[in-house]
């Protein structure tokens, strides 16, 4: 018995999609590129000319039409796989685990909160130094800001970095595991084709 699946992929990823699927025992049955362009009007600006410009140009005005073009471009790839092939059950498990590993997104660095904490704390320190140098007394709200800002934002920046490192470790582990899965599946499919 043969099972089938169809994938829509960006044309840039056609070769890698074909290679990954072949590792899990899928064979390309059909491939078709789909390319569509559709243009629609997003707005229009009408500009009327005054009497002087009408006499000078011989026209009443000008119409500018704004359009937007949507481009759809993908490759529809249809694959088939024999469910009676050697190691089918294990390949199916490996494939499922592979896609679970590759679905883990690379985390983003918490740069914004870190920048806010660093810049805000630096400004507070500069303000305190200037106040001490000028001999001015701080008002209550200034003291509150100088205390509350670091107490809130510095821990947020620290926890953000710790959380980022944990997520990055998980991401790297997932990518490494995905590589191991591909290698195991490749050995199975290469070994299966050698024995036939």
Domain ranges, ordered by start, for the chain: 86-196
Q: Return d(Cα 145, Cα 149) in angstroms, integer.
A: 6
For the full predicted model, state whether its pTM sits above 0.85. no
Structure confidence at residue 60 (pLDDT) = 65
Phi/psi of residue 57, nearest 5 degrees: -95, -20
Question: Does 76 or 191 have the greater pLDDT score?
Answer: 76
SS (H, E, C) 115-179: HHHHHHHHHHHHHHHHHHHHCCCCCHHHHHHHHHHHHHHHHHHHHHHHHHHHHHHHHHHHHHHHH
- pLDDT, residue 11, reads 94
Statement: residue 59 has pLDDT above 70: no
Q: Model confidence over 79-99: pLDDT tens digits?
A: 999 999 999 999 999 999 999
Reported as a pLDDT band with limits 50, 70 and 90, residue 130 is: confident
Confidence of residue 123 (pLDDT cuts 50, 70, 90): confident
Confidence of residue 196 (pLDDT cuts 50, 70, 90): very low
Mean pLDDT, the chain, rounded, equals 86
Q: pLDDT exceeding 90 applies to what percent of the chain?
A: 52
Separation of CA 115 from chain center: 22
Coil, strand or helix: which one is 109? coil
pLDDT interval class at 50 (50, 70, 90)? low
């Amino acid at each position: 018995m043969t099972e089938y699946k169809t994938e829509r992929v960006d044309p840039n990823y056609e070769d890698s999609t074909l290679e990954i699927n072949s590792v899990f025992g899928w064979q390309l049955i059909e491939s078709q590129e789909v390319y569509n362009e559709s243009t629609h009007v997003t707005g229009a600006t009408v500009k009327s000319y005054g009497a002087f410009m009408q006499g000078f140009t011989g026209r009443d005005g000008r119409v500018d039409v704004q359009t937007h073009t949507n481009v759809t471009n993908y490759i529809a790839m249809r694959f088939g796989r024999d469910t009676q092939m050697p190691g089918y059950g294990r390949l199916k498990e490996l494939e499922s685990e592979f896609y679970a590993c590759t679905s883990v997104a690379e985390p983003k660095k918490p740069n914004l909160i870190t920048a806010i904490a660093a810049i805000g704390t630096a400004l507070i320190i500069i303000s305190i130094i200037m106040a001490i140098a000028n001999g001015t007394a701080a008002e209550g709200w200034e003291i509150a800001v100088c205390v509350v800002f670091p107490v809130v934002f510095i821990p947020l920046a620290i926890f953000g970095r710790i959380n980022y490192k944990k997520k990055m470790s998980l991401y790297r582990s997932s990518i490494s595991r995905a590589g191991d899965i591909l290698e195991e599946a490749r050995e199975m499919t290469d070994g299966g084709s050698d024995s036939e």
